Amino acid sequence: MEIKIGWLYPKLMSTYGDRGNVSCLQQRCQWRGIKASIIPLDRQTEVAEFNLINIFVGGGAQDRQQEIVMRDLKGAKAAALQDKIETGTPGIFTCGAPQLLGHYYEPAQGTRIEGLGILDLVSKHPGVEAKRCIGNLVFEITASPLAEELKKMGGETPVAIGFENHGGRTYLGKIQPLGKVIQGYGNNGEDRMEGAFYRQAIATYAHGPLLPKNPLIADWLIQKALEQNYQTAIKLTKLDDSLALAAREAMFRSLALTKLGQ
Ligand code: GLN
């Protein structure tokens, strides 16, 4: 079996270790004998490449880089990405990436960057003087059917841990939040919502990078990608995640969150 991981603008969009999401997906495939190739999707990429992708990964970016990316993505590439997301190609989009998938992003300075409008959300930076949302981020995943599926895979209420650093505040329209904030700011520091979930696309403010810290989410993405690619139910073999789980426990302890989800 084989999957192609499409990495959006690796040179422009990979803040706070987001490239780790790509490595994590590839490694977890390889440990299971699944071939996983990484396809950079950047300014040199032909639109046709987008159609071959089985999982999209989009990382964070600073405001200036977001503007460059949007200029390139507009048009045929945006249409291809939208079509893939609408038809259920899984993806993990972090911080700056979901801001671009929404209707618009208003940066700290300068004019509004029009987004792709794939996700029903808007993002606004309140200005250079405003406090950034920085710190560890812990949230319960509540989006359906993701939450139920993760619970089935892991045997407990899914709780994700990551690190956030953003100036922009995101406000959701008619779209499910990815989860409910337990600690941190999440989308805007006001409504306790974190991220968004649409079709099989996960949007989050959690860097970390997210997937190595939350391997269950990586496996969910791989499973969905394989099922879509091969049109058959897939059951992934279990991996030894004891180190990742111990790291999670240590993080929860240091954040004084005794049991997952408390
Ligand atoms: N430029 C965006 C913000 O500050 C995204 C930052 C990021 O991706 N880390 O909100």
User: Each residue of 206-239: pLDDT tens digit?
Assistant: 998 999 999 999 999 999 999 999 999 999 999 9
Q: How many domains, the chain?
A: 1
Residue 261 in any domain: the answer is: no
Residue 38 in any domain: the answer is: yes
CATH number where 153 lies:
3.40.50.880
Give the whole-angstrom CA distance, residue 122 versus residue 102.
6
Tell me the torsion sign for CA atoms 60, 65, 67, 69.
negative
Active site residue 207: yes
Binding site membership of 62 for ligand 1 (Cβ less than 6 Å): yes
Residue 141 in any domain: the answer is: yes
Residue 162 in any domain: the answer is: yes
User: Each residue of 113-127: pLDDT tens digit?
Assistant: 999 999 999 999 999
Tell me the torsion sign for CA atoms 188, 193, 194, 196.
negative
Provide the residue range defining the domain that includes 190.
Answer: 2-254
Residue 23 in any domain: the answer is: yes
Give the whole-angstrom CA distance, residue 158 versus residue 129.
35
CA–CA distances in Å: residue 156 to residues 148, 150, 166, 259:
10, 8, 29, 11
What pLDDT score was predicted for residue 195? 98
The catalytically annotated residue of 95, 125, 133, 166 is 95
Give the chain's radius of gyration (CA, Å). Answer: 17
The catalytically annotated residue of 29, 133, 166, 207 is 207
Picking from 79, 33, 88, the residue whose alpha carbon sits closest to that of residue 56 is: 88
Binding site membership of 168 for ligand 1 (Cβ less than 6 Å): yes
3-state SS string for 21-58? HHHHHHHHHHCCCCEEEEEEECCCCCHHHHCCCCEEEE
User: Each residue of 89-102: pLDDT tens digit?
Assistant: 999 999 999 999 99
Active site residue 125: no
Picking from 64, 81, 65, 166, the residue whose alpha carbon sits closest to that of residue 116 is: 81
Question: What is the best residue among 8, 99, 170 to mutate for testing ligand 1's pocket, by most ligand atoms within 8 Å of CB?
Answer: 99
Q: Give me ligand 1 centre to Cα 98, in Å.
A: 10
| Assessment of whether the complete model's pTM goes beyond 0.85 | yes
Residue 114 in any domain: the answer is: yes
Residue 259 in any domain: the answer is: no
Residue length of the chain: 262
Residue 241 in any domain: the answer is: yes
